[in-house]
């Protein structure tokens, strides 16, 4: 079992839909949870960052962490074609080196 | 003004050749990394340098040799290229200090194809 599991998709949704992206993990030492967005032929960029359990909202994006279930989610409201990208979850403990999920490919069609 | 820049963006070469990828960051970060992203988008750490010193060396064949001439540069040299080395190689950097998010700033990647 990999330390971080993420369904690669692709996930195809119509414009305006609510998108839910998820990761599970096995390492209980993870405390910092991140979502990176990677457009085609580009490097990943940090989208959301959360410490420990709870929710964090930024515009149309909400990151949710449930440490008891070892489960994290990213919700995108009112999805737009410009949200089409690969979303990688990442997490770390005390080390500054994050462990990445393999990414979920999201396609938002007009 | 690109924060983390890598050259070249594309490399196509024959098996057995040697190639280098260069990386420079102008963010003033102390720590730099090389990541490999395979065809299934899995992003895996290869090396990490802090202030020119190697701090992480994952299980990578010794055909891969990183070199950091100063804290703004981290280059990757690959000897005797193999088909399985085909991937996108990302350079990244992160700021120093406790309490920061540890956010990684990635370059645009160098796409290596070994024929």
Average pLDDT across chain A, whole number: 93
Q: Give the pLDDT score at B56.
A: 79
Contacts of B110 in chain A (CB under 8 A): none
Task: Answer whether A47's CB lies under 8 Å from A60's CB.
Answer: no
Look at residue A103 in the predicted model and tell me its pLDDT. Answer: 95
10-residue mean pLDDT series, chain B (115 residues) = 90 97 94 92 90 83 93 95 96 76 90 97
Q: Which is more confident, A95 or A43?
A: A43
A102 contacts B41? CB cut-off 8 A: yes
**Both tokens of residue B91?**
């350079």
Select the more confidently predicted residue: A20 or A94: A20
**pLDDT per residue as tens digits for the range A11-38:** 999 999 999 999 999 999 999 999 999 9
Residue B41: predicted pLDDT: 82
Cα–chain center distance at A52: 15
CB of B62 closer than 8 Å to CB of B54: no
| CB-based contact A45 B41, cutoff 8 Å | no
Taking CA–CA distances from A95, the nearest residue in chain B reads B102
pLDDT of the residue at A53: 85
Confidence (pLDDT) at B100: 61
CB contact under 8 A, A92 and B56: no
The rounded Cα B88 to chain-centroid distance in angstroms is 9
């Amino acid at each position: 079992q990999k330390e971080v599991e993420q369904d690669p998709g692709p996930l195809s949704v119509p414009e305006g839909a609510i998108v839910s992206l998820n990761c599970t993990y096995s390492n209980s030492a993870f405390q910092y949870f991140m979502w990176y967005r990677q457009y085609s032929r580009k490097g990943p960029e940090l989208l959301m960052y959360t410490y420990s359990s709870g929710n964090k909202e930024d515009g149309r994006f909400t990151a949710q962490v449930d440490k008891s279930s070892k489960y994290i989610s990213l919700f995108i409201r009112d999805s737009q074609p410009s949200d089409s990208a690969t979303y990688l979850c990442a997490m770390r403990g005390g080390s500054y080196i994050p462990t990445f999920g393999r990414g979920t490919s999201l396609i938002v069609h007009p | 003004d690109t924060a983390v820049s890598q050259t070249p963006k594309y490399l196509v070469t024959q098996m057995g050749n040697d190639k280098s990828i260069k990386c420079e960051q102008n963010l003033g970060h102390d720590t730099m990394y090389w990541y490999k992203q395979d065809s299934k988008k899995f992003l895996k750490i290869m090396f990490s340098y802090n202030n020119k010193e190697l701090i992480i060396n994952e299980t990578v064949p010794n055909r891969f040799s990183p070199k950091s001439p100063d804290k703004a540069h981290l280059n990757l040299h690959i000897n005797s290229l193999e088909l399985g080395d085909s991937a996108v190689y990302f350079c990244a950097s992160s700021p120093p200090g406790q309490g920061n998010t540890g956010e990684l700033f990635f370059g645009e990647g160098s796409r290596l194809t070994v024929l």
